[in-house]
Amino acid sequence: MILETQNLTKTYQFGSSTITVIKNVNLEIENGTFVSIVGPSGSGKTTLLNLIGLLSHPTSGKIFFKGEDTSQLSERERRKFRLSNIGFVFQTFNLIPTLTAQENVELPMAFARVKPDTQRERAKDLLQLVGLTHRTCHRPKQLSAGEMQRVAIVRALANDPSLIIADEPTGELDTQTGLNIINLLLNLCKTQGKTIVIATHDEKIKKIADVVYESYARSFVRTTVQNR
Amino acid sequence: MRITRMCLRNLLRRRVRTLLTIFAIGLAAMFIIAVGATTSRYITVIKEMNLFFTGDVIVVARGVFVVQAFPIGGTIQEDVVDTLAAIEEVQTATPILFIPNPSKTQGTLELMPGNITIGLPTKDISVLVGPTPLRPNGSWPSVNSSQAVIGAALADKYNLTVGSTITLREHDITVTGVLETRSAILLHTIILPLKLAQKIYGYNMLINMIVVKPKTGISCETLADRIESEVDGIKTLTETERTEFLQPILDEAELWNTGLRTALFLISLILITNISIINTFERRRDFATLYAIGASKLTVTRIVITETTLLGFFGGIIGTILGAISSILIVSYYTSIPAIMIFPDLLTIVPPRLIAEILSASVLIGALAGIVPAVTIGRAKLEEILRYEY
Are residues B200 and B143 both part of a single domain?
Answer: yes
Alpha helix (H) ranges present in B283-295? Answer: 284-292
Interface of A with B in 71-90 (CB under 8 A): 76, 79-80, 82-83, 87-88, 90
Q: What is the pLDDT of residues A78-108, one digit of tens each?
A: 999 999 999 999 888 999 998 999 999 999 9
pLDDT score recorded for residue B261 = 82
Look up residue B341 and give its amino acid.
Answer: M
| Residue numbers in B near A106 (CB within 8 A) | 2
Are residues B330 and B259 both part of a single domain?
Answer: yes
Q: Is the pLDDT of residue B51 over 80?
A: no
CB B99 within 8 A of CB B117: yes
Distance CA B146, CA B163 (A): 12
- Rounded to a whole number of angstroms, the CA Rg of chain A reads 17
User: What ipTM, to 2 d.p.?
Assistant: 0.88
Closest CA to A199 of A82, A59, A89: A89
Q: Bridge-partner residues for B189, per DSSP?
A: B116
Residue finishing a domain among B220, B237, B254: B237
Q: What is the pLDDT of residues B317-374, one digit of tens each?
A: 998 888 888 888 877 776 666 777 777 777 777 778 878 888 898 899 889 989 999 9
Using the beta-carbon criterion (under 8 Å), do B294 and A155 form an inter-chain contact? no
Are residues B193 and B252 both part of a single domain?
Answer: no
The three-state DSSP-derived secondary structure of chain A is CCEEEEEEEEEEEECCEEEEEEEEECCEECCCCEEEEECCCCCCHHHHHHHHCCCCCCCEEEEEECCEEHHHCCHHHHHHHHHHHEEEECCCCCCCCCCCHHHHHHHHHHHCCCCHHHHHHHHHHHHHHCCCHHHCCCCHHHCCHHHHHHHHHHHHHCCCCCEEEEECCCCCCCHHHHHHHHHHHHHHHHHHCCEEEEEECCHHHHHHCCEEEEEECCEEEEEEECCC
Are residues B16 and B128 both part of a single domain?
Answer: no
pLDDT score recorded for residue B390 = 46
| Residue numbers in A near B10 (CB within 8 A) | 98
Model confidence at B388, in pLDDT bands (50, 70, 90)?
Answer: low
Are residues B65 and B201 both part of a single domain?
Answer: yes
First to last CA, chain B: 29
Interface of B with A (CB under 8 A): 2, 6, 9-10, 13, 285-286, 289-296, 299, 381-383, 386-387, 390
Closest residue of B to A139, CA-based? B9
Distance CA A10, CA A24 (A): 9
Are residues B326 and B266 both part of a single domain?
Answer: yes
Q: Bridge-partner residues for B245, per DSSP?
A: none
Burial of B372 per CB tally in 10 Å (0-12, 13-18, 19+): middle
Q: What is the pLDDT of residues B58-77, one digit of tens each?
A: 999 988 877 767 787 789 99
Of B13, B286, B295, the CB nearest to A111: B295
Residue finishing a domain among B237, B268, B303: B237
Are residues B306 and B222 both part of a single domain?
Answer: no
| Dihedral (CA of B237, B242, B248, B253) sign | positive
In chain B, how many domains are there? Answer: 2
- The mean per-residue pLDDT over the stretch B184-212 comes to 90
In chain A, how many domains are there? Answer: 1
Q: Å from B374 to nearest chain A CA?
A: 17
Domain containing A47 — which CATH number?
A: 3.40.50.300
Are residues B39 and B88 both part of a single domain?
Answer: no
| Residue numbers in B near A155 (CB within 8 A) | 293
pLDDT score recorded for residue A127 = 94
Are residues B266 and B207 both part of a single domain?
Answer: no
Q: Å from A55 to nearest chain B CA?
A: 6
pLDDT score recorded for residue B334 = 65
Domain that holds residue A119: 3-225
Are residues B193 and B279 both part of a single domain?
Answer: no
Are residues B62 and B38 both part of a single domain?
Answer: no
Using the beta-carbon criterion (under 8 Å), do B381 and A112 form an inter-chain contact? no
Q: What is the pLDDT of residues A6-23, one digit of tens each?
A: 999 999 888 888 999 999
Q: Is the pLDDT of residue B114 over 60?
A: no
Q: Is the pLDDT of residue A227 over 80?
A: no
Using the beta-carbon criterion (under 8 Å), do B296 and A111 form an inter-chain contact? yes
Are residues B309 and B328 both part of a single domain?
Answer: yes
A179 touches chain B (CB under 8 A): no
Q: Is the pLDDT of residue B111 over 60?
A: no
Q: What is the pLDDT of residues A51-80, one digit of tens each?
A: 999 998 999 999 999 999 998 899 889 999
Burial of B163 per CB tally in 10 Å (0-12, 13-18, 19+): exposed
- The mean per-residue pLDDT over the stretch B149-157 comes to 88
pLDDT score recorded for residue B107 = 37
First to last CA, chain A: 18
Q: Å from B317 to nearest chain A CA?
A: 25
Distance CA B263, CA A221 (A): 63
Q: How does the average pLDDT of chain A come out, rounded? A: 90
Percent of chain B with pLDDT over 70: 91
Domain that holds residue B16: 2-48+246-389
Distance CA B217, CA B207 (A): 28
pLDDT score recorded for residue B3 = 79
